[in-house]
Amino acid sequence: MALEITEEKAGTVRILALIGRLDTETAPDFELKAHDQFTEGDRHFVIDLSGIDYVSSAGLRVLLALAKQVSSDGSMKLCGLASHVRQVFDLAGFSKLLNIQSNLKDCIAEHDHADMDADKIADMAKQLLGDRADAAPVAAPSPSASPQMQSSAASLLGAPTMQTTRAKPGLWARFMAWLRGE
């Protein structure tokens, strides 16, 4: 299963929203993306895990490695963990090691380096979702917003999200599938 990674910028904060599974096959894709962002100068990260339905030890390792990498001159916050994913973090002791917020809006509102206030983000999300923010899931993408943006906006508002098609599997997943003869 592929991991979809969307990114946004709020001030000097890089927001990475993950959708799918963060496991042995997909963790290297996220690690590479985060490493590239770090190399390009990003030091403050918000990782939105509201679209993650499974995290393995490989996923936990990558998150911890990023947190350690930015600890000297940056920050990393996680948000949007589903209850079963939060349980994995709790059992592994990562809830005490990492800064975890309930949702993206709170995470951005409390971040010192984000120049977008939470109300502005909520207004942008409502614009992307239209009048459906507190109604039914979004049925079709509007011409002005991609499905990823709609999903992120719905997640921010706590609204139901539409099912999006998964992005093409990452390099590592395709390589492993090739090795397995798939």
Give the residue extent of every domain in the chain: 3-179
DSSP state of 95: H
The rounded Cα 160 to chain-centroid distance in angstroms is: 16
pLDDT band, residue 138 (cuts 50/70/90): very low
pLDDT value of residue 137: 46
The rounded Cα 16 to chain-centroid distance in angstroms is: 4
pLDDT value of residue 109: 79
Percent of the chain having pLDDT more than 70?
68
**Phi-psi group of 80: left, alpha or beta (phi > 0 → left; psi -120 to 50 → alpha; rest → beta):** left
Do residues 102 and 123 touch, judged by C-beta distance below 8 A?
no
How far, in Å, CA of 11 to CA of 92, rounded? 32
**CATH dotted code for 3-179:** 3.30.750.24
Please give the helix or strand (H or E) that residue 179 lies within, else none. Answer: helix 171-179
Question: 1 vs 98, which has greater pLDDT?
Answer: 98
The 10s digit of each residue's pLDDT in 103-128 is 888 888 777 666 655 566 666 666 65
> Whole-prediction pTM value?
0.62
